[in-house]
């Protein structure tokens, strides 16, 4: 089924108002009607340096990627604002394919960098962004979008990694992923079925460091919301400290010794 979808799916640069309306509808399904981008905005964006890629399967829009131009005071870059996949078609490689098409089109348009944000406690996104695509994180934003009431973010601060993905450079595959030989910055243990964070370490100076995170953060929120809040607070302290002191988050790997346990790799 997965290969059938990927081989027959068509990705196109969305231009028409009719297609933008389909994107708007899917966006409201993925998040909520209150968080959708108005069609008047997306229509203006695609005429002024941005674009929307749509993934169509049997003429149905099953995924989209929305980008607009950004500027950091020195040079322009592409902001990858949202990537949404229909719930019936997730975990089939559609998001990754959309991202590679995004990178290809960005290069054709003259961009050399793509930047976006994601929640570091959402490991599906981390696996795609860092491990598969090879993007890196150099900064952490606390409560980036303020309070949100959709199911994914309700009740917890919207902290985000800011990741950068080079359009022109080949991503390095020689990452130091030997967990046993590196320092782990948050101690963990299972309490009532939830992976729970313990003491944190802010004084390490090794070139390679690991930060554990649970692979089921949304489930933990339902099982024990206080534990979810602990994960947010302790990972925030660790990531902000080490990113401010020159480390870069370069990968997310699954811990082979702990089921459902992932490790972020920080390198300097």
Using a 10 angstrom Cβ sphere, with 0-12 exposed, 13-18 middle and 19 or more buried, the burial of residue 91 is: exposed
Question: Residue 181 pLDDT > 70, yes or no?
Answer: no
CATH 3.40.630.30 boundaries in the chain: 2-166
Look at residue 175 and tell me whether its pLDDT is greater than 80. Answer: no
* More confident of the two residues 152 and 16: 16
Q: How far is CA 11 from CA 58, 114, 253, in A?
A: 12, 19, 29
d(CA 161, CA 102): 20
Residues 137-147 have a mean pLDDT of 93
Digit-coded pLDDT (tens) for 56-99: 999 999 999 999 999 999 999 999 999 999 999 998 999 999 99
Is the pLDDT reported for residue 163 higher than 80?
yes
Q: Rounded to the nearest 5 degrees, what angle is found at the Cα of 118, between the Cα atoms of 258 and 217?
A: 35
Mean local confidence (pLDDT), 238-244: 98
pLDDT digits (tens, 9 = 90+) for 9-54: 999 999 999 999 999 999 999 988 888 999 999 999 999 999 999 9
* Per-residue model confidence as pLDDT tens digits over 126-140: 999 999 999 999 999
Specify the higher pLDDT residue, 154 or 129.
Answer: 129
Strand partners, 148: none
How many beta carbons lie within 10 A of that of residue 164, not counting itself? 15
Quickly name the fold that domain 2-166 has: Aminopeptidase (3.40.630)
């Amino acid at each position: 089924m997965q290969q059938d979808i990927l081989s027959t799916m068509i990705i196109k640069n969305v231009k028409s108002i009719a297609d933008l309306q389909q994107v708007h509808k899917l966006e409201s399904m993925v998040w909520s009607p209150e968080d959708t981008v108005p069609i008047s905005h997306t229509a203006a964006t695609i005429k002024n340096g941005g674009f929307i890629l749509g993934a169509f399967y049997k003429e149905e829009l099953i995924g989209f990627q929305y980008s607009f131009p950004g500027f950091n005071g020195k040079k322009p870059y592409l902001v990858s604002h949202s990537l949404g996949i229909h719930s019936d078609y997730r975990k089939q490689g559609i998001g990754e394919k959309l991202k590679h098409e995004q990178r290809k089109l960005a290069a054709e348009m003259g961009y050399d960098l793509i930047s976006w944000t994601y929640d570091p406690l959402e490991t599906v996104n981390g696996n795609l962004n860092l491990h598969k695509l090879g993007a890196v994180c150099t900064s952490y934003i606390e409560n980036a979008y303020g309070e949100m009431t959709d199911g994914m973010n309700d009740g917890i601060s919207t902290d985000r990694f800011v990741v950068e993905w080079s359009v022109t450079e080949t991503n390095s595959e020689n990452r130091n992923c030997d967990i046993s030989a590196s320092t782990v910055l948050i101690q963990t243990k299972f309490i009532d079925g939830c992976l729970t964070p313990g003491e944190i370490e802010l004084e390490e100076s090794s070139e390679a460091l690991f930060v554990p995170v649970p692979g089921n953060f949304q489930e933990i929120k339902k099982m024990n919301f206080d534990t979810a809040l602990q994960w947010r607070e302790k990972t925030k302290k660790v990531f902000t400290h080490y990113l401010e002191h020159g480390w870069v988050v370069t990968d997310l790997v699954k811990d082979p010794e702990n089921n459902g346990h992932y490790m972020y790799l920080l390198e300097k």
